[in-house]
Amino acid sequence: MITFLSIVQIVVSIVLITIVLLQHRKQGGFSGIFGGGTQADSGQWQRFTALTKITIVLAVLFMFLSVVIVLLSK
């Protein structure tokens, strides 16, 4: 079970990296690195682009899988 979840986490990681690299930055410089160019301040899910929504879902899935793998390995 842990092996299967680890493989799923690797696939999610690769897809997450790819999606993040496909996104277009709104602002240049260091402000984009530290969150200055994010859309999170709008507060509305509808304003997010499809790539942003996929990134959020994959990041949550990655974190969830990480916790589950740790809990199962104990």
3-state secondary structure the chain: CHHHHHHHHHHHHHHHHHHHHHCCCCCCCHHHHCCCCCCHHHCCHHHCCHHHHHHHHHHHHHHHHHHHHHHHHC
Does the pTM surpass 0.85? The reply is no
Residue 30 has pLDDT above 70, yes or no: no
Mean pLDDT on 18-46: 64
pLDDT of residue 47: 76
pLDDT of residue 26: 64
Mean pLDDT on 8-25: 92
Mean pLDDT on 42-71: 87
Residue 4 has pLDDT above 90, yes or no: yes
Contact predicate 6/65, CB 8 Å: no
